[in-house]
Amino acid sequence: MCGIVGFVGSSQAAPILLDGLSKLEYRGYDSAGIAVRDGNNETEVVKAKGKLKVLKEMTNDGKAVVGSCGIGHTRWATHGEPSTTNAHPHCSDDSNVIAVHNGIIENYQELREKLAKSGYTFYSQTDTEVAVKLIDYYYKKYNLGPVDSIARAMIRIRGSYALAVMFKEYPDEIYTARKDSPMIIGISNGETYVASDVPAILKYTRNVYYIGNREIAKLSGGSATFYNIDREEIQKELTEIKWDAEAAEKGGYEHFMLKEIHEQPKVVKDTINSVVKDGKIDFSSVGLTDEEMNKITQIYIVACGSAYHVGMAAQYVIEDMTSIPVRVELASEFRYRKMKLAKDSLVIIISQSGETADSLAALREAKDKGIKTLGIVNVVGSSIAREADNVFYTLAGPEISVATTKAYSTQLIASYLLAMQFAVARGEMTSEKCSELLEELYTIPEKIERILADKERLQWFANKLAGAKDAFFIGRGIDYAISLEGSLKMKEISYIHSEAYAAGELKHGPISLIEDGILVISVLTQHELYEKTVSNMVEVKSRGAYLMGLTTYGNYSMEDTADFTVYIPETDPHFAGSLSVIPLQLLGYYVSVAKGYDVDKPRNLAKSVTVE
């Protein structure tokens, strides 16, 4: 959840570190710091509580800190309050070892007590300081160098971590290690970069190595050497990141979220084109064959947050198109459940980053039980992408805003394509019907553009909602799944208490919450469920609710019931969620803007949750 950046080369390190950290601000943080080593092997550590701009002001945008080797960090407090003292980097007692760390060390108290008995003192409340001093302890005890000392520390540490470490006796090198926390290494023109996420180094290089779980890397100018935990050197292949550096910039938009909402027509089309060749679905890049699809008797979709909401929508689509039963599970619950998984089942893990801690653990749990796995991920080379048996890459590009929009939309598209190909492979859908659906799927980008062209009405309506304290979203079937996502968008960036309910459940308790002026947003895109949901709207209106209706063009009777109506273009009901979610994204965005909040970096949230 925190951010790491490191650099070693011939350029000045501090400006590169600060620039990289600014690209990771979306991950959430409460303090920041850098450590830079100069040509005289002197290291300057600068740390500050608060936003990165404080650190930039202290260092004159990095120009005041001289040296070409350094590490930087943005911290989100886990162990110890937000403070300058607890900010990273952390040092051993004599500054022999300096490091930054993402993750959580679960046995840090036990390690701290043992290190204290060996004469180490502690100045912070962090688990990171314990890791630094444990590495220093092994470095001095065995005198076998950085790789050995880090490997020994890794064996003792329980938990998750990505570490970037500098040693005083190796002034032109950075050492990294990871377990269950993301880390990438970039190479370009005799210089080497390390970061916890791609956007931090995309400006400088698109050629990267992915350091594996429980591996160590030695970085010097323009080179990287990798080792396993047994200190044996291992070989790795460079991977080219296809993302354009400009994709990680705002491009003239006020916020990344608004830019990413507007990018949805393109990324939806790109994702369709990635697996549709000559008018037919081609899963050769995914690696899931028709024969394997034929054998599947049960699908489990496992995810967190918005990706879980994609799973909810996918459940309706897959079960409607095929005879396969589908269960949707929260990854944080799935990994601790003791349930037996059906033989010949498939576990689909959905994650934008491919590093979500609970989802990754669920993937490993499924693999341990011998169940086939498929990852739907956006980041090439991420942990879930590497470890899943098959991978469907969404082509959303870098998503910077914490509140997902375009990644969610590409995940929806991936789920439709999976459902259609499962149906064809199993003889439950004709190729003619599949072609018809593909033709309709290709209209989705243009229809999203039409919705975006009418966004001023939603902005006007959102301004009226800025004072709202509560909101409820209701729908049936796929509309319920989309209501879950609309509600999450509202609460996570506008801080309005919001809940989503299956409309038929209102009378089973939630309707007691309805009172004068309460906002109720109803999603109605499924024709066969339209009248039933309208009945639910009438029920809450009679109790004082203020109603917004979101439906398809043609359902103009909605204006007789709702106080404000939003229309989306008609499409096949299976795909309607890809259109109905767009106004809900815009609504959440404009309410947040009207309230003056930081849309891209909502409080208490991080882009990817890489710790439990």
> In which residue are the tokens 């092997």 written?
41
Q: Which of 248-257, 331-340, 408-417, 500-509 is least confident?
A: 248-257
Task: Give me the phi and psi of 107, to 5 degrees please.
Answer: -105, 30
Q: Which of 199, 196, 175, 219 is nearest to 8 (CA)?
A: 219
Strands 298-303, 564-568: pairing kind: unpaired
Q: Please check the confidence at residue 57 and state whether its pLDDT lies above 70.
A: yes
> In which residue are the tokens 């800025």 written?
466
SS3 344: coil
Q: How far is CA 255 from CA 2, 251, 400, in A?
A: 21, 9, 10
Domains in the chain, CATH or no CATH each: 3-241 (3.60.20.10), 247-442 (3.40.50.10490), 451-599 (3.40.50.10490)
Non-local CB neighbours of 548 within 8 Å, separated by 6+ positions:
461, 519, 520, 521, 522, 562, 563, 564, 565, 566
- DSSP 8-state class, residue 211: P
Side chain identity at residue 55, one-letter code: L
Contact 34, 71 (CB under 8 A): yes
Contact 80, 31 (CB under 8 A): no
Active site residue: 2, 69, 304, 434, which one? 2
Handedness of CA 336, 407, 575, 349 (dihedral sign): negative
CA–CA distance, 281 with 435 (Å, rounded to integer): 9
Q: Which of 388, 350, 351 is nearest to 372 (CA)?
A: 388
Query: Is 434 one of the catalytic residues?
Result: no
Categorize the per-residue pLDDT at 58 as very low, low, confident or very high, splitting at 50, 70 and 90: very high
More confident of the two residues 515 and 611: 515
- DSSP 8-state class, residue 197: S
Radius of gyration (Cα) for the chain, nearest Å? 25
DSSP 264-301: HHHHHHHHHHHHEETTEE--TTTT--HHHHHH--EEEE
Query: Residue range 31-35: average pLDDT?
Result: 94
Percent of the chain that is helix, strand, coil (3-state, to 5): 40, 25, 35
Token output for 429: 């859908």
Q: Please check the confidence at residue 176 and state whether its pLDDT lies above 80.
A: yes
Active site residue: 218, 406, 601, 607, which one? 607
How many percent of the chain have pLDDT more than 90?
Answer: 77
Q: Which of 181, 170, 174, 232 is nearest to 211 (CA)?
A: 181
Query: Is 2 one of the catalytic residues?
Result: yes
Strands 223-228, 215-220: pairing kind: antiparallel
Task: Give me the phi and psi of 514, to 5 degrees please.
Answer: -75, 130
Categorize the per-residue pLDDT at 606 as very low, low, confident or very high, splitting at 50, 70 and 90: low
Handedness of CA 598, 394, 328, 514 (dihedral sign): positive
CA–CA distance, 274 with 80 (Å, rounded to integer): 45
pLDDT score of 367:
94
CA–CA distance, 112 with 423 (Å, rounded to integer): 56
pTM for this entry: 0.78
Chain-wide mean pLDDT for the chain? 92
pLDDT score of 252:
78
pLDDT tens digits, 237-272: 898 887 766 666 777 788 889 999 999 999 999 999
Categorize the per-residue pLDDT at 234 as very low, low, confident or very high, splitting at 50, 70 and 90: very high
- Cβ atoms < 10 Å from Cβ of 390: 18
pLDDT tens digits, 85-124: 999 999 999 999 999 999 889 999 999 999 999 999 999 9
- DSSP 8-state class, residue 85: T
SS3 131: helix
CA 159 to chain centre: 20
b/e per residue 271-283 (b: at least 16 CB within 10 A): bbebbbeeeebeb
pLDDT score of 82:
81
pLDDT score of 349:
98
Q: Which stretches within 473-609 are classed as H helix?
A: 478-494, 530-541, 577-594
